[in-house]
Structure formats: C-alpha cells, structure tokens
C-alpha cells in the first residue's frame, strides 16, 4: 500500500511523451523561421511601393525601350510590315518618342498595381488605362514619331515613287508602299502615315480589361493562394507552441525547457536561412530571367536581376536579428528551466 500523499497542490499529471514533445519542438523549429520570413516577404513582394522603388533605384526604366524594341521586332514585326522594315536598334531609337520615360513609368505603375490588386483579391480583372498613350500620340509626339519613321525607311524605287505620286494626285492613299520618297513627295507619305496613326488611336479603347484564363489564370490563382499562406503561415508554429505549453503546463521547468529548445533551434535555423537567402534568391531569379535573353540585352537582364534581388537583403537582415533574439531567448529559457528543475523541492 502506498503511503498517504503529503504536500500541497493538485496531483502531478503524467508528463507528455518525450518523443511527441521532441517531434513538436522539431516541427516548430523547422517552421518558425520560414513562417516569419514569408510573413515579412509578403509585405514586400505583394505591395507596389517596394518593387517600384527597386525598379527606379536600378534604372530599369532605361532598359525597357531595348526590351520592347527586341520584342516588337521579333513578335509584332511578323504581322506589322512597318515594324518588319526597321531593325531593333532603330525601333529602340523611336521608343523614347513613342513612350517617354514619364509615360513608361506611369504605365509600369499601372501594370504592377493592377496585377497586385488582382493577387490581393481587391480586383477580379486586370485593367489598364490607355488614355495617356492616346493623348500623347494624338499630339506633337505622334508627328515626331512619324517623321522619325520615315527617316528610317528604305529609299523608294521608281515604281514605288510613281505609285505614291499617283495616290497623291487621286487622293487615294489607302495602300501606299512603305519606303522613303524624295522630299517633294514626302508630305503624301506623311499624310498617309498620320491617317494610319489616327485610325489606330481611335480604335484603341480608353481602357483594356483582361480577365485571366487558362494557364495565366492558374498561375495567378497559385500566386494568390501562396500569398495567403505567406500571410498566415506563422499560425502553425504559434499553435504548436500553445500545444507544447499545454502538454507541459503542470511542470513549469519542463515548459520552460521545451520552449527554450524550440526557440533556440528556431533561431539557429533562422540564422542559417538569413545567411543563404540572398544567394539563393540570386540564383532563382537569374533562372527566371533566362527566357528574356531572346528579347533583352545583357544589361537589361542584369538591371532586372539587381532590382529583384535588392528586395531581399533587408528581409535577410531582419530575419537574422529576429533569429538571434529567438536563440538568445531560447538559451535563457533553457537555463531558467534547468535551474527551476534543480531547485524545486522533491516532495514524496
């Protein structure tokens, strides 16, 4: 027969299974640093201000004309005879007139803001305004673009000059050849190109609405779900900390020690993540940008790459500080738990 129980307080509960406690601690350690990193990354990657600042700091806007020129030459030029006559270097020279830096910045901000609004769930479609482009091309800038285009056209043959002259006399300029005539005949071609540009401007809607479908809808849906996980992923380690506290609550020393090891391991792993984050992002983003090599110069790819990578050093620095604090707090809790365990009276 066991002797009568002596001492005060409720009977001591059975300790949590050591294997389960160790498993919970390991899961907390493996999930806490990525969860905190994802939470902070969501505030950077899914808000327009940090990305726009990175593009501006690394002068990405200066390289966009080159990117657009190569794309237009390779893709749009196949269906647009005028573009097919101009090499990428000449198209690139025209783009500052077509899309000056101020307008290019405005359009880029529109694209990024619309995309992030869709990913953030505040919009169901992607919408872009074309009013600024239409106003820009309808004015003096349109005439300057047309003048620059005619300077880059190949000289007209005799048959082509006769065709242009005949069209000018008859007033029918619907199908003029795309070549540069002599200066006396040049106004006829300029009038034709101006009419062509005005028709293109008039046919352009004031806004373009894009409803993602197919692969683009699937990709955007994955990004939207990923953003939700990034925002709420920290719930997993915090919930497990509560589970760990409840399972060891009757034994304060065990509670402190278990939390201490969870914090210490989380902090050490977080320091490791902070150390490899920027090099890892540098390699991943470089592989993402590889497809752009067919339509962009090396300088443009380097500028894009530097802008994307620049978003992550502050995240790595913040994670390193948080991880060091976690490791320090964990060490302190382990010391307190061991001290409490040794000083607690053994009542039998």
The span from the CA of 158 to the CA of 221, in Å, is 58
**Cβ-based neighbours of 88, under 8 Å, separated by 6 or more:** 66, 69, 70, 73
Q: Which residues partner with 210 through β-bridges?
A: 126
Instruction: Please report the DSSP string for 262-304 in residue order.
Output: HHHHHHHHHHHHHHHHHHHHHHHHHHHHGGGGGTS-HHHHHHH
Q: Rounded CA gap, 178 and 176, in Å?
A: 6
Q: Specify the residue for token string 């690139």.
A: 92
Long-range Cβ pairs for the range 242-245 (8 Å, 24+): 243/24, 244/21, 244/24, 244/25, 244/28
pTM: 0.71
**Does the CA dihedral 282-284-288-291 come out positive or negative?**
positive
| Domain layout of the chain by residue ranges | 18-71+217-340
CA distance 308 to 262: 33
What is the Cα–Cα distance from 303 to 290, expressed in whole angstroms? 13
How far is Cα 198 from Cα 212, in angstroms, rounded to an integer? 30
Containing 110, the helix (H) or strand (E) segment is: helix 101-119
What is the reported pLDDT for 26? 92
Measured between alpha carbons, how far is 63 from 104 in angstroms, rounded to an integer?
Answer: 11
Other CB atoms within 10 A of residue 325 CB: 13
How many residues appear in the chain? 348
Q: How many CB atoms lie within 10 A of CB 66?
A: 19
Write down the pLDDT at residue 133.
81
Q: What is the pLDDT of residue 80?
A: 56
> What is the rounded CA–CA span in Å between residue 82 and residue 178?
7
Cα separation of 256 and 244, whole Å?
A: 10
> Which residues have CB under 8 Å from 313's CB, separation 6+?
278
Of 254, 235, 242, residue with least CA distance to 17? 254
- For residue 280, the model assigns a pLDDT of 92
Amino acid 9: pLDDT: 45
DSSP state for residue 129 in the 8-state scheme? E
* pLDDT tens-digit profile, the chain (348 residues): 444 544 444 444 444 447 888 888 999 999 998 998 999 898 888 888 888 899 888 888 877 776 766 666 555 545 555 566 666 677 677 777 777 878 888 888 888 888 888 888 778 888 878 888 888 888 888 888 788 778 777 888 888 877 777 765 555 555 667 778 887 777 777 777 788 778 878 887 888 787 877 777 788 888 888 888 888 888 999 999 988 888 776 788 888 898 999 999 999 999 999 999 999 999 998 888 877 776 677 788 888 889 999 999 999 999 999 999 999 999 999 999 888 877 755 444
């Amino acid at each position: 027969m066991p002797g009568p129980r002596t001492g005060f307080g409720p009977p001591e509960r059975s300790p949590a299974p050591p294997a389960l406690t160790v498993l919970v601690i390991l899961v907390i350690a493996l999930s806490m640093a990525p969860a905190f990193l994802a939470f902070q990354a969501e505030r950077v990657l899914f808000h327009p201000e940090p990305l726009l600042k990175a593009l501006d700091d690394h002068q990405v806007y200066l390289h966009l004309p080159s990117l657009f020129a190569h794309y237009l030459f390779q893709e749009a030029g196949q269906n647009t005879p005028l573009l097919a006559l101009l090499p990428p270097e000449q198209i690139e020279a025209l783009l500052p007139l077509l899309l000056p830096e101020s307008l290019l910045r405005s359009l880029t901000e529109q694209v990024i803001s619309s995309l992030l609004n869709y990913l953030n769930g505040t919009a169901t479609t992607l919408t872009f305004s074309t009013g600024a482009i239409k106003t820009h091309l309808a004015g003096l800038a349109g005439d300057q673009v047309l003048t620059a285009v005619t300077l880059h056209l190949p000289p007209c043959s005799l048959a082509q000059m006769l065709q242009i002259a005949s069209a000018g006399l008859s007033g029918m300029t619907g199908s003029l050849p795309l070549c540069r005539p002599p200066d006396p005949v040049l106004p006829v071609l300029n009038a034709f190109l101006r009419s062509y540009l005005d028709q293109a401007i008039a046919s352009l809607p004031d806004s373009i609405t894009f409803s993602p479908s197919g692969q683009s809808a699937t990709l955007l849906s994955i990004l939207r779900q990923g953003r939700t996980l990034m925002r709420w992923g920290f719930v997993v380690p915090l919930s497990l900390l509560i589970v760990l506290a409840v399972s060891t609550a009757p034994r304060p020393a065990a509670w402190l020690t278990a939390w201490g090891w969870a914090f210490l391991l989380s902090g050490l792993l977080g320091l490791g993540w902070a150390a490899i984050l920027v090099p890892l992002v540098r390699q991943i983003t470089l592989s993402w940008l590889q497809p752009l090599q067919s339509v962009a110069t090396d300088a443009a790819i380097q500028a894009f790459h530097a802008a994307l990578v620049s978003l992550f050093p502050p995240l790595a620095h913040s994670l390193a500080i948080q991880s060091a604090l976690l490791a320090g707090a964990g060490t302190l809790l382990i010391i307190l738990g061991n001290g409490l365990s040794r000083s607690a009276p053994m009542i039998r």
